[in-house]
């Protein structure tokens, strides 16, 4: 017999997905290699391999570095606040529909249980199968619609990044003649570093450029 647990709340809130940081820091881990094993296979030594590497490196005196806190941009920028509200509106509709349909299915389940002594075995079995099919359809429909909401949200996020956020960050890099921009979530900075954090400037410029991007209407709405 199907029961209330068969209804999967597919309309659960999805975790907010952050915008991809403008700068990704890759850390290379160098392991220990056995030189004799390499030479034994006809390879060159480490010293010989390093002959193609120059001695040039960035000079600290010439570097201009800035930090951007992407998490702050996500929470403070008007366009991203508006986008989250759109997503939450669709998710709220799904939750309301789920609550309504759950009540209807619970009522039908109770009626089926009461009719066990009235209906024939075949009629009862048909009603149970019909109930189970309705539960499965509800689960499938809500899951597909929830996924559609997330897809529309991610598409809008990508549009904000590619059309608005990335050009602004690139413009600030050019205007300030920066050598490196680091995502502040992965940086540790001293208290006396002036003009290092440019997050507020990015947010202000993004707010000036765009205040809202409309999500595509998800399927099923």
Domain boundaries, given as residue ranges, for the chain: 4-209
Report the SS3 class of residue 51: helix
Rounded to two decimals, what is the model's pTM?
Answer: 0.67
- Residue 43: the pLDDT is 63
Long-range (24+ apart) CB contacts under 8 A made by 185-193 are 185/21, 185/69, 185/70, 185/71, 186/25, 187/67, 189/67
DSSP for 20-38, written as a single string: PPS-----PPP----HHHH
The closest alpha carbon to 167, from 132, 129, 197, 210, belongs to 210
pLDDT at 193: 66
SS3 of 180, please?
strand
> What is the pLDDT, as a whole number, of residue 192?
64
DSSP-assigned letter for residue 17: P
Q: What is the pLDDT of residue 4?
A: 41
Task: Please give the chain's pLDDT, 221 residues, in tens.
Answer: 444 444 333 333 333 333 323 222 222 222 323 333 334 455 678 888 778 887 776 677 778 888 899 999 999 999 999 999 999 999 999 999 999 999 999 999 999 888 888 888 898 899 999 999 999 999 999 999 999 999 999 999 999 999 999 999 999 999 999 998 988 777 666 666 677 889 999 999 999 999 899 999 999 89
What is the residue whose two structure tokens read 């789920």?
Answer: 98
Q: How far is CA 59 from the centre of its chain?
A: 37
């Amino acid at each position: 017999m199907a029961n209330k647990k068969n209804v999967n709340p597919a309309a659960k809130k999805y975790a907010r997905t952050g915008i991809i940081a403008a700068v990704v820091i890759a850390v290379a881990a160098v392991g220990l290699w056995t030189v004799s094993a390499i030479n034994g296979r006809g390879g060159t030594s480490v010293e010989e391999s390093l002959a193609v590497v120059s001695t040039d490196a960035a000079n600290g005196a010439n570097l201009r570095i800035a930090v951007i806190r992407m998490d702050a941009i996500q929470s403070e920028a008007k366009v991203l606040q508006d986008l989250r509200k759109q997503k939450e509106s669709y998710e709220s509709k799904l939750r309301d529909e789920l609550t309504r349909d759950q009540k209807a299915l619970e009522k039908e389940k109770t009626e089926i249980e009461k009719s066990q002594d009235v209906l024939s075995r075949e009629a009862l079995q048909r009603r149970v199968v019909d109930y189970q099919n309705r539960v499965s359809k509800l689960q499938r429909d809500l899951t597909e619609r929830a996924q559609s909401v997330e897809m529309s949200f991610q598409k809008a996020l990508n549009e904000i990044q590619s059309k608005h956020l990335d050009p602004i960050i690139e413009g600030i890099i050019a205007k300030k003649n920066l050598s490196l921009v680091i995502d502040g979530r992965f940086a540790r900075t001293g208290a006396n570093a002036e003009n290092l954090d440019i997050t507020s400037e990015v947010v202000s410029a993004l707010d000036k450029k765009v205040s809202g991007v409309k999500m595509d209407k998800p399927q099923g709405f």
